[in-house]
Structure 1
Amino acid sequence: MSLPEYVGPCAFGIKMGVVLPGSDLKSMIKSEIMKINKDGLLEDNDALCVTESIVARAQENYITTEEIAEEVTDKLNLKPNDTLGVLFPILSRNRFSLILEGLAKAVPRGKIIVQLSHPDDEVGNQLIPPEKSQALIDKGYNVIKAEELEEDCIHPITNVNYLKLYRDIITEQGAEAELFVSNDYRVILDYHPQGVLCADIHTREEHRSKLESKVITCTLQDLFNDSSKESWSEWGLLGSNMSSDNKLKLAPYNADEFACELQKEILDATGKKIEVIIGGDGAYKDPSSGIYELADPKPAFGTTPGLRQHMREGVKYKYLIDMYHNQGKSEKEIQEIIAKESEKKKGKNHEIETEGTTPRKIEDILASLADLVSGSADAGTPVILIKSI
């Protein structure tokens, strides 16, 4: 049952059984692929995107809040009564609340300083209304105490007051909590912490490089990225998610290796060479909430070599159609020219014919598409088959 030639790129969600810790995931996926191949839907150069969540679950890649406390204590040389600075964490119960609990366990007789950005965190979760933020900036406020903002800090989507939530998480572990809002990363040094965790995602290295000469500093990626440990990831705590009351699931480890092994098993079983992606959050911004969905460090945690660092470019169809139509060319002539331009532009320099299609990493595009089909639709389809890539 091959798709008709007039069908362009498309994605199909593949339903699977429940993936449990320790499941033989490659065998489970291969079983579904055999059905797809039997139905004539699998072709060379298709792409298969597997959500990072089921890969990490099958790997049993979990840690506890107690282990987070031990890890950050070791990395930052903390004592139970020290002050720990936490710079620019995102506002998320799923992504950060358990990490914060673990950090507070590291200094149960000390203090946690949390510096938040405004009006939003780095992925677009609103902390305070933009007009309130601008008014404070106009008045010359560089630092805003949490106590001054309590009534303004209800998240417009989740209705959670993250200042209160984060303070309560810290104090429940016995530590003192001090939260404030400032977009100037240097302010955290005014509180004289013994160590600073750069808890931001996409700007973590920039802030680490500016702080590490003044205080012991690490990023979320530096915690649990040791391959000698039972649970670890190249991304450390980046990309981790809440699993249970005190347990966090890390991003998968060796995701490239998993993708390549799965590709080989599918090739051996079906004779079809397809590309494989281990996908996380898609790289897109929700137009209604303004939230930038990429809370993972990147859209694709792992890929097969055929996708790695390749750029997706196309021709600027609207420009070419209008230009050649104005030159008096027929519909058939325009179609033939566009087909030739599409082939000619592969791998070439960016020119006017392609400027309508900004070059992007193919792995980012495909992982984002898969996330929209699977994760954002919550469709129970952790594997996505993408055709005509």
Structure 2
Amino acid sequence: MRCVGTVVRGIRTPIIKENDDLATIVVDSLMAAKESEGFEFKDKDIVAITEAVVGISEGNYVTVDDVAQDLQNKFPSKNIGVVNPILSRNRFSIILKGIARGMDKITLLTSFPADEVGNGILDEDLLDKSEFNLASVISEDEYKEHFGTWIHPFTGINMIDFYRELIESEDCEVEFVFSNDIKTILDYNTDVLTCDIHTREKSTKTLKDLGANVYGLYQILTEPIGDSGHNPDFGLLGSNKATEEKLKLFPITGDKIVNEVQKRLIDITGKQIEVMVYGDGAFKDPVGKIWELADPVVSPAHTSGLVGYPNEIKLKYVSDNKFADLRGDKLKEAIKEEIKNKDADLTGQMITEGTTPRVLTDLIGSLCDLTSGSGDKGTPVIFIQGYFDNLAND
């Protein structure tokens, strides 16, 4: 009897640099791992590659000056409102440096008590005791008076202070406003850059419909500035700090990579192996309150076998209801038959209640992100076996 279900392995690779042949590195690393660990490839195995090494290998970088130039092209007034940036040194500080370098004045509106992905900006207990509520508009002076001493427990810094110092270091004037209504920015400026990630199209449309000259961060660097990198779909969203003057963008060659790796692995193994590129996982830390997904999507590229949603029955529900009188081997065999005979589409049926109704690549990408981590594990490739198996697969 088969005793193991899904198995996830982090695959170590050489350190990947610009212009490396990523497809060859991925395949060779998998073959080396196979020899080292003694596993065999099977149909519906999954190979996942972190977006970071895809972007690095394709050399998809932009500089702070590139960001400044594109913003000047779009906002010749050089005086803009910046709405709902995330509070992140890795994700946004270099973008903000580019904005400040290209502008004379910024009015920066941020949500509270946290940004879009859960990074805190003030003490929520103090907010509850104050004269303000979530519908308030809080000025910079009011923030300083009531909440300005707040320090983030993980980073040890106050991001408002950090962003102010960064902006002013570029000889740009800044005014902070705290509001959970993006329309508040129109009281200060009608030239607006929206920086939210997952509501990007709605927020841009809302302000545009009210007469603003508005661009989203996803519309900046969609085309190269000179010989810079770019991303036609997501612009600066999904970018990461590379140096103090350079950003690595979300990759644009993901489709080519996943199809090439899949083809090579099928040729070598004879198995139908699926391949994806993954970024941030889609999950929330209940302690730090941070929602991990700061990328515009979990998976910017994947092969066709990873399209769709899980189609699973809830074993606990079936056991407690349909087979409540069975135990042991009889129960197991009955449930296996139930799985084998389940409908091809279980959407809306009670038998699925409690399963996870999420896109497959979001689930798999989250599994990969937790496995590879964001530090020094050295496993930018994840190999998953048995993900599509169930109890009926012996």
TM-score w.r.t. length of structure 1: 0.92
1:320 and 2:318 aligned:
yes
Change (3 A) 1:27 1:137: farther
Match of 1:370 in 2: 368
Equivalent residues in 2 for 1:233-272, closer than 5 Å: 233=231, 234-272=233-271
Match of 2:80 in 1: 84
- Matching residue's letter, 1:348: L
Alpha-carbon distance, 1:270 to partner: 2.5
Match of 2:142 in 1: 148
Contact 1:73 1:106 in 2 (8 A): yes
Give the match's secondary structure for 1:360. Answer: coil
Match of 2:296 in 1: 297
Give the match's secondary structure for 1:131. Answer: helix
Match of 2:4 in 1: 7
Alpha-carbon distance, 1:145 to partner: 1.8
Cα distance in 2, alignment partners of residues 136 and 201 from structure 1: 30
Change (3 A) 1:315 1:196: same
Change (3 A) 1:232 1:137: farther
1:208 and 2:204 aligned:
yes
Alpha-carbon distance, 1:119 to partner: 0.4
Cα distance in 2, alignment partners of residues 96 and 231 from structure 1: 17
Cα distance in 2, alignment partners of residues 20 and 270 from structure 1: 27
1:157 and 2:151 aligned:
no
Alpha-carbon distance, 1:183 to partner: 0.7
- Matching residue's letter, 1:115: L
- Matching residue's letter, 2:151: I
Alpha-carbon distance, 1:36 to partner: 4.0
Match of 2:380 in 1: 382
Equivalent residues in 2 for 1:223-234, closer than 5 Å: 223-226=220-223, 230-233=228-231, 234=233
Alpha-carbon distance, 1:273 to partner: 2.0
Change (3 A) 1:349 1:267: same
Match of 1:71 in 2: 70
- Matching residue's letter, 2:353: E
Cα distance in 2, alignment partners of residues 285 and 55 from structure 1: 25
Change (3 A) 1:137 1:250: farther
Equivalent residues in 2 for 1:306-345, closer than 5 Å: 306-308=305-307, 310-326=308-324, 328-343=325-340, 344-345=342-343
Match of 1:56 in 2: 55
- Matching residue's letter, 1:320: V
Contact 2:91 2:241 in 1 (8 A): yes
Match of 2:218 in 1: 221
Match of 2:391 in 1: none
Alpha-carbon distance, 1:138 to partner: 4.8
1:106 and 2:82 aligned:
no
Deviations, residues 38-69 of structure 1 (Å, cap 9, x unaligned): 53332121001100000100001111000001
Match of 1:352 in 2: 350
Change (3 A) 1:24 1:139: closer
- Matching residue's letter, 2:258: A
Alpha-carbon distance, 1:218 to partner: 0.9
Cα distance in 1, alignment partners of residues 43 and 32 from structure 2: 16
Deviations, residues 64-106 of structure 1 (Å, cap 9, x unaligned): 00000111222x2324xx3111000010000000101100111
Give the match's secondary structure for 1:114. Answer: strand
Give the match's secondary structure for 1:200. Answer: coil
- Matching residue's letter, 1:271: G
Between 227-236 and 119-128, the greater mean CA deviation after superposition = 227-236
Cα distance in 2, alignment partners of residues 192 and 35 from structure 1: 57
Alpha-carbon distance, 1:377 to partner: 6.6
Give the match's secondary structure for 2:243. Answer: coil
- Matching residue's letter, 2:195: A
Match of 1:41 in 2: 40
- Matching residue's letter, 1:191: Y
Deviations, residues 221-270 of structure 1 (Å, cap 9, x unaligned): 11122379651122211110000111000010031232112111221232
> Which runs of 5 or more residues in structure 2 are unaligned?
388-394
- Matching residue's letter, 2:355: T
Identity %: 37
Change (3 A) 1:137 1:58: farther
Give the match's secondary structure for 2:107. Answer: strand
Contact 1:221 1:235 in 2 (8 A): yes
Change (3 A) 1:257 1:350: farther
Contact 2:311 2:346 in 1 (8 A): no
Alpha-carbon distance, 1:156 to partner: 2.1
- Matching residue's letter, 1:91: L
Alpha-carbon distance, 1:378 to partner: 4.3
Change (3 A) 1:153 1:200: farther
Cα distance in 2, alignment partners of residues 41 and 297 from structure 1: 34
- Matching residue's letter, 1:212: K
Change (3 A) 1:211 1:139: closer
Match of 2:280 in 1: 281
Match of 1:118 in 2: 112
Change (3 A) 1:365 1:123: same
| Cα RMSD for the two superposed structures | 2.0
Contact 2:61 2:228 in 1 (8 A): no
- Matching residue's letter, 2:102: A
Alpha-carbon distance, 1:171 to partner: 1.0
Cα distance in 1, alignment partners of residues 71 and 64 from structure 2: 11
Cα distance in 2, alignment partners of residues 256 and 115 from structure 1: 36
Change (3 A) 1:367 1:218: same
